[in-house]
């Protein structure tokens, strides 16, 4: 069968891993339907971006509770926009763990 869109090997491995996890949880139909229907570009990446949408981005990060296979939680974006968003989210997560400076008891502010 000829495929018009050849996905990178890493994407194919990730899809197989997700399908296996859902199958182990007793949700094989959800795995098949979620992987069969790839997200379409919604034009939500950076305004003015002319890059080709080659990656799938989770609108709500999976680590933050977003559904990995929900089509409403996925959007097609270019690699540059996806990388920038990933960096923003990583910085935000790191900053959440930073300790706030304490006021010295001998100083008056």
Domain ranges of the chain: 11-95
- Residue 2 dihedral angles phi and psi, to the nearest 5°: -85, 125
- The per-residue pLDDT for range 30-63, each reduced to its tens digit, is 444 554 555 554 555 555 577 788 888 888 888 8
E strands, 27-88, where? 55-58, 74-77
pTM over 0.75: no
Percentage of the chain beyond pLDDT 90 is 3
Higher pLDDT, 26 or 95: 95
Task: Tell me the CB-side half-sphere exposure of residue 86, using CA atoms within 13 A.
Answer: 12
Q: How far apart are CA 74 and CA 25, in angstroms?
A: 22
- Identify whether the C-beta of residue 17 lies closer than 8 Å to the C-beta of residue 10: no
Count of Cβ atoms closer than 10 Å to residue 51 Cβ = 14
Q: How far apart are CA 59 and CA 105, in angstroms?
A: 44
Q: Is the pLDDT of residue 1 over 50?
A: no
């Amino acid at each position: 069968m000829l495929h018009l869109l050849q996905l990178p090997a890493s994407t194919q491995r990730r899809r197989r891993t997700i399908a296996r996890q859902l199958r182990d949880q007793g949700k094989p139909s959800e795995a098949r339907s979620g992987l069969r229907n790839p997200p379409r570009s919604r034009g939500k990446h950076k305004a003015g971006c002319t890059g080709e949408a080659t990656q799938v981005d989770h609108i709500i990060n999976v680590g933050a509770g977003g559904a990995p296979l929900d089509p409403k939680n996925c959007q097609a974006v270019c690699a540059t926009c996806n990388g920038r968003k990933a960096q923003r989210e990583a910085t935000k997560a790191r900053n959440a763990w930073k300790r706030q400076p304490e006021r010295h008891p001998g100083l008056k502010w």
